[in-house]
Amino acid sequence: MVDSDTVVVTGIGVMLPHTTDVAEFWDNIAGGRSQVGRLTRFEPGAADLPVRVAAEIGSFDHHRYLPELADAHAAKYSRDVLITMSAAAEARRDAVLARGDVDPRRLSVVFSSSRGPLGWWQQAILGEDPAAFSDKGAMFRGLPGSPASLSAIYLGAQGLVTTISNACVGGHQAIGTAVRELRSGTSDVVLAGGHEFPILPEVAKCYLALGKGVLSEEETDPANAVRPYSADRNGFALGEGAVVLVLERLSHAERRGATPYATVLGHKSFNEADHPTTMDLSGKVTAGVVHDLLAEAGRKPDEVGYFCAHGTATRYNDLAESRALRALYPGRRVSELPPISSNKPIYGHTFGVAGIINAAATSLMLRHGRIAPTINLRRPDPECDHDHVAEGSRAVDADLAVSMSFAFGSQTSMLALGALS
C-alpha cells in the first residue's frame, strides 16, 4: 500500500538528441536506439583531438514548446536556456499541471548542471560572438542558474528556485532536494531537472587528459562508441540536453487527477572523502550506501528488482558498480543477482543531467514492467560478470529499483524508486 504522502513522479519532459517527448524517450531506451552520431559541433582535426562522436541536438525551435514566450524575450536567451525551458514546459504538460493547480508560492524548481553555460562563455571570451555583451541578455546567458530562474518565471513558480552544480551526482541531488521540500510540506510541486551542453573541445581535452579509455575515440561506428562493462570498452561519448521531472506528493497528485509514473522512495548522497577522480573500488562503501538508503525506505536489498547503472564505459566506473553489487549480495551466483543496465550508449554522458535521465528511465521501466537494455555489450569484461540486460528489453516484475550515480570529487549517490501498485 502506497502512503498518500509518498513522493511520486507525475511528469517527464525531455529535450535530448532526436527526442522531444516521453514516447520518443521510451522508444529509444527500450528499443536500444543509440543517438550517438558523428561529431559536428567542432572539427576534431582542427582541435587536434581524437574525438569523433557525440550525442548532439540538431537545430532547435522553441516555439512549439514555449508558445507564451515573447520573441523579444527569447532573443535574449541562449540555445541552452531555451532547450531547458522547453523541457520544463514539457514536463508540466506531461503532468497535466495547469496554472492554478498549485499555489505559485508552493511551486519550486531545482535543477542541476555540471558546467552551466560554458559554450556561451567560450564564444564570448574568445570573441567568437561579437554581440555577446551587447544587450541585457548577457546576464541571462552567462549565469549557471538562469535556466532554472527563467523556467520558474515562465511557469509562474514562486517557491524555491535553485541550481546544484556537483558533477554527475547533481541530478540525483536535485531530486533529493525536491523530495525534502515535498516531505517537509514547504512545496506542493517541484520540478527537478538538469541541463548540460558540454560538446566543446575544451571539455573533451579535460577528459582526454585523464588518459585513454575515458573519452571514446571510436572512429567508424558512432552507435557502437559506448560499451559499458565490455572487455573492449572505449570510454564515453559527450551528450547534451535537458530533462525535467515533476514531483509531488501522491495525495496532491490524486486530488488533481494525475497519473504517476513511479514513486520516489528515497535518496542518499555520500562523499567518500577519498581519491578525487576515482571511486570506491572495494564495493563495500557503495554497498553500504545502498543498504542504508533502502533501510531508510523500509526495504531490503533482496527486494531490489533492477539497478539502473551510471554505466560510463570507463574501467573504474564499471568495476566500482560491479564490485558494489558483489558486496551487496555476497556469495550469490550471477543468475541470482538483480539485473543491471546502462543508458549511456543511447544518449552519451550528460554529467549534470545523467541522474535525471536515469530517474526518468527507471520510472518508465517500472511503469511498463520492462527493463531497457545496455546496448553494444557483446563480450563482458570477466570482472563485470553480472546479469546484464544486453539481449534487448526484458520483461520484469519489479516494484523496487535503484539508480546509481558517481562523480569526481569522491561522490556517490543512490536513488530508490518504486512501482505503483
- 225-280 pLDDT, tens digit per residue, is 999 999 999 999 999 999 999 999 999 999 999 999 999 999 999 887 777 777 78
Q: Which residues contact 403 (CB under 8 A, 6 or more apart)?
A: 172, 307, 308, 355, 358, 359, 362, 414, 415, 416, 417
**Predicted TM-score of the model (pTM):** 0.96
Residue 46 has a pLDDT of: 67
Domains, in order of start, for the chain: 7-262 (3.40.47.10), 265-418 (3.40.47.10)
- Cβ-based neighbour number of residue 328 at 10 Å: 24
Q: What is the sign, positive or negative, of the torsion defined by CA atoms of 78, 178, 9, 393?
A: positive
Q: What pLDDT digit, counting tens, does each position of 314-325 carry?
A: 999 999 999 999
| Residue 89: its H or E element | helix 79-94
Active-site amino acid positions: 168, 310, 349
**Matching residue, cell 558533477:** 167
Residues 6+ apart with CB under 8 A from 153: none
Decide if 196 contacts 347 (C-beta within 8 A): no
**Under a CB-based contact definition with an 8 Å cutoff, are residues 282 and 288 in contact?**
no
- Give the Cα separation of 348 and 365 in Å (integer): 19
Distance between CA atoms of residues 46 and 44, nearest Å: 6
Q: What are phi and psi of 13, to 5 degrees?
A: -115, 125
Reported confidence tier of residue 4, pLDDT bands at 50, 70, 90: low
For 35-63, how does the pLDDT look when each residue is reduced to its tens digit (9 = 90+)? 999 999 988 876 789 999 999 999 999 99
39, containing H or E segment: none
**CA–CA gap between residue 412 and residue 404 (Å, rounded):** 8
* Residue 140: per-residue pLDDT: 86
CB 57 within 8 A of CB 84: no
Residues 114, 118, 119, CA angle at the centre, nearest 5°?
A: 130
Candidates 309, 308, 293; CA nearest to 366 is: 308
**Block residue for cell numbers 532554472:** 148
